[in-house]
Amino acid sequence: MDSIASALGMKTFAGFVGGIISLRFFEGLTLQGKVWTVGGGMVMSFFLTHPIMDYFKWNVEHYEGGVGFIVGLFGMSVAAAAAKLVTDSDVLKSWIKRG
């Protein structure tokens, strides 16, 4: 393995770079929050790049880095928005009240 990119896989390295760039758009994060954001972008990129490529029928390996970068860049933003949607949901609040 010649480099970090080949050791981790291009999609994971691209997700790492995307996660770092995404920090520019998150305000008020602590150091721990920044580490979780970059790490989350890497993990999401590792697990979601190939399913996204399969869904859109992009079977070209050259796209792996680009898709991994996009997932790393926007992955944590989408996850945060989904979590907020679920926690703000009236359905979830009613389930919690029942329990």
How far is 38 from 41, CA to CA, in rounded Å?
A: 5
Percent of the chain with pLDDT over 90: 18
- pLDDT band with cut points at 50, 70 and 90 for residue 2: low
Q: Please determine, for residue 61, whether its predicted confidence score (pLDDT) is greater than 50.
A: yes
Mean pLDDT over each residue of the chain, to the nearest integer? 82
Q: Please determine, for residue 38, whether its predicted confidence score (pLDDT) is greater than 80.
A: yes
* Domain layout of the chain by residue ranges: 8-98
- Six-digit token string for 42: 């890497």
Greatest CA separation for the chain = 56
pTM beyond 0.85, yes or no: no
Q: What is the mean pLDDT of residues 80-95?
A: 74
| Beta carbons within 10 angstroms of residue 72's beta carbon | 32
Give residue 64's identity as a one-letter amino acid code.
E
